[in-house]
Amino acid sequence: MKLLEGKVIIVTGAGAGVGRGIAREAARQGAKVIANDLGVKIDGSAASAGPAKETVDLIVAEGGVAAANTDSVASWESAQKIVQQAMDLYGRVDGVVNNAGNLRDVIFHKMSEEEFDAVIAVHLKGSWNVSRAAAPHMKAQEGGAFVHMTSTSGLVGNFGQANYASAKAGLVGLSKSIAVDMKKFNVRSNLIAPFAFTRMVGSIPTDTPEQKERMKTLRTLEADKIAPFTLALLSDQAKEVSGQIFGVRNNEIYLFSQPRPIRTAHSGEGWTVQACIDRAIPMFKPSFYPLDLSRDVFNWDPV
């Protein structure tokens, strides 16, 4: 039995890499797929229908059902068109994978407003646009699931990615809010931090020995490895899973912690500024997190 038989799944950024792998596996599992991709270059220029069509052609060649879409997730109106295409062609939408992405890596004090806004528009606003467009249909049919792609850049930290990290951290709040607000309609929302070498990741600068070493590790991460767990979260067998943050790195799957208080300081007479300095901060200091980067936390070789 195919685990997504009869379901309709929208995959954004499905023209290559992680998104293409997810779209193809969704079809193999019986879903009808909307493969969305603008087909642009890394800098956002030269839109093309080619990548989305190539994904659809691969799915059809394998006996699946899919349609290409080239609307932008960054626009409210275009995102509505993505979802409406699913409704027009297949009559429902059961799952959305918010995978579309871009990069504008620049160290914080040199980052321009355009470089910040461009990344927020696709990753965070784009995920909101597509999810919001799909939500009424899922509510009406009393079921559905979202998977959003976050990143350890937002969960842990990385150099030169204030825009990307902000968007990916923002997705944590968005996903949890969707999970909470739509629970009564049997609609679920989860996050995956995918470790995978893609065209987007390949654009990361390699100007320093550290960056070159990081890229060497990134090249070992297979994009198609993200698909199985993504589709598992969209299946009915995962109906109890919502509001969680996962990671997938080659053959490893992680469950991430979520922020909760870890130490408490109390003063019966209240706090002064000096008392905070003298007592509260020293009490907390042993539990402070260092300024880790993603590579410091995931410091073992992918398996």
Contact between residue 133 and residue 147 where contact means Cβ atoms under 8 Å apart: no
Q: Counting beta carbons within 10 angstroms of the beta carbon of residue 83, is it exposed (0 to 12), middle (13 to 18) or buried (19 or more)?
A: buried
Which domains, ranges and CATH numbers included, belong to the chain?
Answer: 8-255 (3.40.50.720)
* Sequence-ordered strand ranges (E) for 63-163: 65-69, 95-98, 144-149
The three-state secondary structure class of 31 is coil
pTM: 0.93
| Number of other residues whose CB lies within 10 A of the CB of residue 124 | 23
Instruction: Report the half-sphere exposure of 4 (CA within 13 A, side-chain side).
Output: 32
Catalytic residues: 164
| Beta strand extents in the chain (DSSP E only) | 8-12, 32-36, 65-69, 95-98, 144-149, 187-195, 245-249, 252-255
* pLDDT at res. 207: 73
The tens place of each residue's pLDDT in the chain, 303 residues long, gives 799 999 999 999 999 999 999 999 999 999 999 999 998 777 766 678 899 999 999 999 999 999 999 999 999 999 999 999 999 999 999 999 999 999 999 999 999 999 999 999 999 999 999 999 999 999 999 999 999 999 999 999 999 999 999 999 999 999 999 999 999 999 999 999 999 877 666 666 667 776 676 667 676 788 999 999 999 999 999 999 999 999 999 999 999 999 999 999 999 999 999 999 999 999 999 999 999 999 899 988 888
Q: Which two tokens stand for residue 207?
A: 């100007």
pLDDT at 300: 86
Q: What is the pLDDT of residue 48?
A: 83
Residue 46 has what pLDDT?
A: 63
pLDDT at position 303 is 80
